[in-house]
Structure 1
């Protein structure tokens, strides 16, 4: 277990450094906002673009991998929604936002660096396949459910337009889409452009992890303890558990894709869960606290999943 902690802990130490820097006033809130804007709108889209553009789709794009991961995501979304509504008696809009917390794992800022530290950069291919569809799948499911319970969408055409606009304004989605375009068209990028993108990419994950720590400093856990605990159980235990069972028993994944499925599913709720909750003004405190507490707890739970995996 000590070796496993040594794999996971450096990632969380970088997050902790960002948290401590903002807490002690060494890094301003405006600096955190600027850093996160840089990583989420520029550096990470560049990372995803290059990863998808150079990915061997024939080798890595495995439907069984996607079924194993997204079956767990979908089940946890509806379990979170149903639990929030009927177990905790939350309004429908809150229930959808809480379900979204159980759905949207931190696949990029946590999933990529932890998989890389545990299994090496060569193991990231299946992760990028999951990430390529993650934002689109989660926002499609979450926004559709929210618009239905709100009853504001009107016609089906308006619902489709609302969902599509929200997804394709997302810089991460743009980076993924452009990466697929280059990959499928067989385009060769100039060496100078590739080097420039690689410079951006090298800054992406360390800066994003540090910024994530600063963002988490803003969200003090308060109230709603049972709901937050419920979200953490679904996110950190149930989702990877379903991924593990699907990969081992149903889809018979090879060890590499199985590891990527489980480790990615085991990540805490991502910052996008708070963005979603804030967009609709629903369950914001639950979303913010679930991100903070789930990230802290995942130091232990991710280490446990790494111990279980082949």
Structure 2
């Protein structure tokens, strides 16, 4: 277990450094969107392109990995929506709770961490999970989030949300970088030397900046929630507001954390082992990779999506923060169990 901790510690240390920098305002909160832009539009696409281009095409088109991952992701979404909707949580909050339970922090954290642990051969299954979550899981949850309207109005809202999600996919550089990497791998093309070196430099910057940015985003979410609460208390005291929004109870947060870090990886492992027993051509090494992807903490960008669509971002941010902190302990346990 100690060797695993020695590998994972620097990754979580960089997240902690970003959190501390933003929390103490050494890193201005206004700078965080710039960091996000650099990672999302430059560094991370170059990392995915480089891994995709250097991965055998058979691994990038592994239908068994896509099937197991897709079934489990959809099951997590359905289960969380079904069991968390209540008087406090409508379709909007339930859908983003489901997204934060099913969507791991694969791009910002999983790619560098799992490649460091398992080697470059882990890139193929990881890329498949990223593509599925970007195209299917996130689009489905965004569409479900619009069902709070009654009747045809709710359905129309879901349709509009699905269109917005599709537009978001089309302008997101990550799916395009994955597609280009698959094309380069299939055609066995080599990029010109100067272009390849430029991509390599940006790709090498992806891991530290992405991890630092995760911590900064988590700190910003905590600070913004605290400031909104303080403003609401002042407004209530002056008689100009209804008081602070109630903090999400533990019962609305802890079950989703447990689903993300425990039930999701267990479901992937159980379904994968059952599929192998039934003769599905799923390599045990590929199954180990996607189980560890499922054991990652929640994706930090779900908080921004929740804010954009008017969901309870305080609840979503708490789930992301708790899964990130808890994963420092649970992720090495998952690695040790698989080994």
TM-score after normalising by structure 1: 0.90
Deviations 1:146-178 (A, max 9, x none): 244443563998666333212212222232233
Question: Greater CA radius of gyration, 1 or 2?
Answer: 2
The answer to whether structure 1 residue 217 and structure 2 residue 219 are counterparts is yes
Contact 1:219/1:292 (8 A) holds in 2? no
Q: CA deviation at 1:185?
A: 5.1
- Indicate the residue corresponding to 1:102 in structure 2: 101
Q: How many residues align?
A: 309
Query: Which has the larger displacement, 131-140 or 262-271?
Result: 131-140
Give, in whole Å, the separation in 2 of the partners of 1:156 and 1:108: 27
Contact 1:11/1:114 (8 A) holds in 2? yes
- Indicate the residue corresponding to 2:112 in structure 1: 113
Contact 2:139/2:162 (8 A) holds in 1? no
- Indicate the residue corresponding to 1:30 in structure 2: 30
The answer to whether structure 1 residue 299 and structure 2 residue 328 are counterparts is yes
Matches within 5 A, 1:175-254: 175-184=177-186, 186-220=188-222, 223-251=248-276, 253-254=282-283
TM-score after normalising by structure 2: 0.83
Q: CA deviation at 1:181?
A: 4.1
Q: CA distance change for structure 1 residues 152 and 178 in 2, over 3 Å: closer, same or farther?
A: farther
Q: CA distance change for structure 1 residues 13 and 160 in 2, over 3 Å: closer, same or farther?
A: closer
Contact 2:297/2:327 (8 A) holds in 1? yes
- Indicate the residue corresponding to 2:234 in structure 1: none
Contact 2:70/2:132 (8 A) holds in 1? no
Give, in whole Å, the separation in 1 of the partners of 2:303 and 2:2: 33
Give, in whole Å, the separation in 2 of the partners of 1:282 and 1:89: 12
Give, in whole Å, the separation in 2 of the partners of 1:286 and 1:67: 30
Matches within 5 A, 1:1-310: 1-86=1-86, 89-150=88-149, 151=153, 154=156, 161-184=163-186, 186-220=188-222, 223-251=248-276, 253-310=282-339
Query: Which has the larger displacement, 16-25 or 239-248?
Result: 16-25
Contact 1:98/1:283 (8 A) holds in 2? no
Contact 2:101/2:259 (8 A) holds in 1? yes
Q: CA distance change for structure 1 residues 119 and 156 in 2, over 3 Å: closer, same or farther?
A: closer
Q: CA deviation at 1:210?
A: 0.9
Runs (5+) with no aligned partner, structure 2: 226-246
Give, in whole Å, the separation in 2 of the partners of 1:155 and 1:121: 42
Give, in whole Å, the separation in 1 of the partners of 2:168 and 2:24: 36
Specify the SS of the correspondent of 2:253. helix
